[in-house]
């Protein structure tokens, strides 16, 4: 059934098959993600389809990869960056006093504004 191929050659072929299947699965998910964002061009699709390594594929996807939202990003979206700058300058007054100025419908209380919620630390 395998002709004159020995065990080592068969293993190499099987490993390559697994690698290519993984590459194709990743390619499909990358294309779907970029398409969902509405940023998939014909040129980009051709480049993604032409990629022969996982590294090349990931390099093409990197600019379109969804970024994890950090607590800092969420705070900036809520308009709290100036509060952080005030606290870092350590002007006279407490952080809680500065935080009162930033309360609004997105930031309900001082703890949320100053990120002083109690959390378990590692």
pLDDT in tens, 1-24: 777 888 899 999 999 999 999 999
Domain boundaries, the chain: 7-64, 71-114
Burial 42-67 (b: 16+ CB within 10 A, else e): eebeeebeebeeeeebeebbeeeeee
Which one has a higher pLDDT value, 44 or 3?
44
82 closest CA partner among 45, 44, 34, 114: 114
pLDDT in tens, 68-117: 888 888 888 888 888 778 777 765 667 677 777 778 888 888 777 766 54
User: 56: pLDDT confidence band, cut at 50, 70 and 90?
Assistant: very high
What CATH number has the domain spanning 7-64?
Answer: 1.10.10.650
């Amino acid at each position: 059934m395998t002709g004159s191929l020995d065990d080592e050659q068969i293993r190499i072929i099987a490993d390559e098959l697994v690698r290519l299947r993984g590459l194709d699965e990743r390619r499909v998910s990358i294309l779907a993600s970029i398409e969902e964002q509405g940023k998939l061009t014909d040129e980009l699709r051709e480049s993604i389809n032409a990629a022969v390594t996982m590294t090349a594929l990931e390099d093409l996807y990197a600019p379109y990869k969804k970024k994890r939202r950090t607590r800092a990003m969420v705070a900036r979206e809520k308009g709290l960056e100036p509060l952080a700058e005030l606290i870092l300058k350590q002007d006279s007054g407490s952080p809680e006093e500065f935080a009162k100025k930033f309360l609004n419908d997105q930031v309900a209380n001082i703890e949320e504004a100053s990120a002083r919620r109690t959390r378990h630390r590692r």
